[in-house]
């Protein structure tokens, strides 16, 4: 008979706790051993019940879920899966060694993906395997002098990451930006100016108040009447570079674009 995994739910919203409890009840090998509405209650139940998996909200009264996870002892700690309505804490969640990060309302499919990863992790004989894997993940996600290697994207029910090198160009849409890839489009809640500061300036360049291009995707420039330029990407996309951004483009490519060689 397969060993049942003990799960603890920590969330200050009763409806969210009940929904998650109901979804977990559909899993034959999961036993919910308790529910709590604060980090203090969760800490007490962790000590007395020793659950295998902790489903943890971020925002709770008093100490939040991130701080609780950060202060748990490394020996004997449960697998931590964050379940929250907020997408902006994903990187911090992985920094405190969370296994997964689910967005409310969590779908059955997404929850089962997280549970499959939890089962796999709990079967591993060496606890330090998780630490090594997560350290590698954080290094991969970290921001360094080269800028963001990945851009966080919120999809329905989950968080994903897009490699910045795969982005052809970025379009401003009010308080959002739209990432244009070869076959995909992703809408990200972030202003274009904020994202511009975080991207590698050797690869990405603002050519217009509403557009950033990946310089490696620029195929051709075409002079337009009035001093602007058309920027043609290797995908066939045609954008406009305003005169005010011309000098920055010339600095990036290392020569004047009006030179008639």
5-140 CATH, one of 3.30.465.10, 3.40.50.1700, 3.40.50.2300, 3.40.640.10: 3.40.50.2300
Across the range 90-110, mean pLDDT stands at 89
Per-residue pLDDT band at 142 (split at 50, 70, 90): very low
150-253 CATH, one of 2.40.50.1020, 2.60.120.260, 3.40.50.720, 1.10.3720.10: 2.40.50.1020
String of DSSP letters for 219-238: EEEEE-TTS-EEEEETTS-E
Average pLDDT, the chain: 85
Distance from C-alpha of 150 to C-alpha of 98, rounded to nearest angstrom:
19
Per-residue pLDDT band at 200 (split at 50, 70, 90): confident
Structure tokens at 2: 């397969």
Q: At residue 132, does pLDDT exceed 60?
A: no
pLDDT for 114:
93
Q: Is the pTM of this model over 0.95?
A: no
pLDDT for 258:
64
Distance from C-alpha of 88 to C-alpha of 152, rounded to nearest angstrom:
9
Give the least confident one: 14-18, 99-103, 122-126, 242-246: 122-126
Kindly report the length of the chain: 261
Report helix angle 108-123 to 14-25, nearest 10.
70
Characterize 6-25 residue by residue with b for buried, 16 or more Cβ atoms within 10 angstroms of its Cβ, and e for exposed. Answer: bbbbbbbeeebbebbeebbe
Q: Where are the domains of the chain?
A: 5-140, 150-253
pLDDT for 202:
85
Q: Residue 223 burial by CB count (10 A; 0-12/13-18/19+): exposed, middle or buried?
A: exposed
Q: At residue 137, does pLDDT exceed 80?
A: no
Q: At residue 118, does pLDDT exceed 70?
A: yes
Parallel, antiparallel, or unpaired: how do β-strands 176-180 and 169-173 relate? antiparallel
Q: At residue 37, does pLDDT exceed 90?
A: yes
Per-residue pLDDT band at 110 (split at 50, 70, 90): very high
Distance from C-alpha of 124 to C-alpha of 102, rounded to nearest angstrom:
23
Radius of gyration for the alpha carbons in the chain, expressed in angstroms and rounded: 23
């Amino acid at each position: 008979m397969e060993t049942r995994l003990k799960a603890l739910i920590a969330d200050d919203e009763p409806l969210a706790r009940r929904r998650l409890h109901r979804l977990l009840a559909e899993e034959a090998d999961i036993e919910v051993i308790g529910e709590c509405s604060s980090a203090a209650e969760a800490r007490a139940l962790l000590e007395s019940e020793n659950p295998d998996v902790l489903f943890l909200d971020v925002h709770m009264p008093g100490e939040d879920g991130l701080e609780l996870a950060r202060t748990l002892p490394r020996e004997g700690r449960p697998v931590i899966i964050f379940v929250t309505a907020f997408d902006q804490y994903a990187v911090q969640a992985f920094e405190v060694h969370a296994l997964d990060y689910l967005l409310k309302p969590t779908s059955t499919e997404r929850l089962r993906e997280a549970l499959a990863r939890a089962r796999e992790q709990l079967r591993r004989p060496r606890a330090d395997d998780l630490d090594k894997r997560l350290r590698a993940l954080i290094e991969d996600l970290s921001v360094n002098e080269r800028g963001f290697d990945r851009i966080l994207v919120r999809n329905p029910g989950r968080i994903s990451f897009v490699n910045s090198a795969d982005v052809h160009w970025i379009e401003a849409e009010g308080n959002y930006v739209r990432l244009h890839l070869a076959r995909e489009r992703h809408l990200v809640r972030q202003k274009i100016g904020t994202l511009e500061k975080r991207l590698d300036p050797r690869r990405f360049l603002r050519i217009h108040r509403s557009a950033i291009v990946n310089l490696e995707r620029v195929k051709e420039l075409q002079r337009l009447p009035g001093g602007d330029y058309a920027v043609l990407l290797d995908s066939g996309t045609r954008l406009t570079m305003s005169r005010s951004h011309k000098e920055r483009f010339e600095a990036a490519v290392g020569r004047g674009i009006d030179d008639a060689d």
